[in-house]
Every structure is written in C-alpha cells, then in structure tokens.
Structure 1
C-alpha cells in the first residue's frame, strides 16, 4: 500500500470499531478521501431484518452526499478486523460508482483486512458499470 494512503486506511479501521454488527459479527469501516483532503467515514449497520442492513461504504457515501459532496472523490479504504482480506461488495461498488460518476473519476479502492491490503481501480472492480449516463 502506498504510504500516502496509510492514514485513510487507519480511519477506515477506526470506523470499523464503531460498527453495529450484532448478527454477523463482521465489522466493516469505510473512509472516503476527497480532493480537498476531507475524509468521510462510515461503518456497517445491521438490522434484525437483514435486508435493511447497511454496508459501511453505503453509510459513508450517504453521509458525504447529505453533506453536499458531489465531486472530488479520490479514494476509498474499506477495512475489517474480522476478515483476512476484504473488498467492497457488488452493491457498494455500484454505490461508489454513483458518487465517482459526478466527475467521472476512476477512484482508488483499498481493501484492508487482517492479513492483506490490496488496491484496485473502481473500473477493475466494476467493469462496464451502470451509471447515470445509461439512463438516457
């Protein structure tokens, strides 16, 4: 992992510690880095009605959008102390794509598990993504 993103990963790890995961016991944190240096984080939030649960990335993106952030997403770190490796699920890849599409960014995605940290570009994780342009 590049040293310039070490703090972003630490913020994602910190967010994972605040996760509400009483059912799966699988804690995940996400931290979004914007071009102005701002970081918006989130943690997964489970619900007894499993379909209502929210992933960490979704929480962070909703927070960013509700704060008025529409552009400048540079990177996202996703971390879990409960997994050897981790990457965003398909739903979260789509949610991240929606925010990245505001400036057509191919953001850096960092997955930090217990044993391994990996990096990808969103276009690698979600090739031929469905986005706002597909709506006409």
Structure 2
C-alpha cells in the first residue's frame, strides 16, 4: 500500500451496496460497483453474469461511465449482493482497470481492514498493453478521440 493512499470513501461503498441490495436479480446480477469520477460524480453498475462469461460489475461500470461522458475515475469499489460486503476485483478486472486508469484507487478489505489502495498495488509487475499505449500516445486516453 502506498504511503499517500486516500481515506476510504464510505459514500462510494454505500452507493455500491445500495445497488447490490436493490437491483440484484437471482444469479444474473450479483455484484455492484461504484466509482467516483474526478469531478465528484458517482457512477454505479451491475455485473451481467452469463455461463459464456459475462462482464464483471467493474467492467460494466467502465462502459457506463464512458456513456455518461466520464473518462477519468479516481476510486472504484465492488460490493456483493446478500450483504457480502466489499469484494476485491478479479484478475481480469485488475488488468483492465490498470490499463484504462493507471492512477486509479480501489477499495478493498472488510470491517476494520477496509482500505484504499492503488491499482498498481493490486497488480504489481503487470503486463503492459503495448498496443494500447501506442494508441494512447497518438490519440490520448481511451474515449477522447
């Protein structure tokens, strides 16, 4: 964990928990995510489970944020339905979040161990998406062209 980690954003956790409590439907939608944009707005989303491999809540959130014109996120959290609390991102989500937002913070842990960490702390020595980096250098961050 970095020395300059921001405090835990409890409003963000509650936003995701509210979506998980009120919008979960059977096995198709079991996880909610919430992220705070740089301008302070909160974006929420749900996973879309499917046996062929549906997207996690964090990935749905990236598309939802982009559809709302939000291309800079500061912090993200995922919360499970049935009061499971904060759930850390899976490996695929960690890689995608790092590729899109290398300065992103992620809320992890439970109870007294809740903390905000850098996405790079969750995926040290990560794979570098070279094609993505070339596109970013030429056109700017994703969604800005």
* Number of corresponding residues: 125
SS at match of 1:53: coil
Q: Structure 1 length normalisation: TM-score? A: 0.74
Structure 2 Cα separation of the partners of residues 112 and 80 of structure 1:
13
Structure 1 Cα separation of the partners of residues 113 and 85 of structure 2:
6
> Are the equivalent residues in 2 in contact too, given 1:13–1:29 (CA < 8 A)?
yes
Cα deviation digits, residues 54-80 of structure 1 (max 9, x gap) = 211011111112223222x11011112
Question: 1:56 maps to what in 2?
Answer: 57
Which 4+ residue blocks in structure 1 deviate beyond 4 angstroms? 112-116
TM-fit CA distance, 1:100: 0.7
Structure 2 residues not aligned, in runs of 5+:
1-5, 135-145
For the pair shown, which has the larger CA radius of gyration, 1 or 2?
2
Say if 1:84 and 1:13 are closer, same or farther in 2 by CA, change over 3 A: closer
Question: 1:19 maps to what in 2?
Answer: 24
Structure 2 Cα separation of the partners of residues 112 and 29 of structure 1:
16
Structure 1 residues not aligned, in runs of 5+:
none
Query: Which 10-residue stretch deviates more, 32-41 or 107-116?
Result: 107-116
Q: CA RMSD in A?
A: 2.7
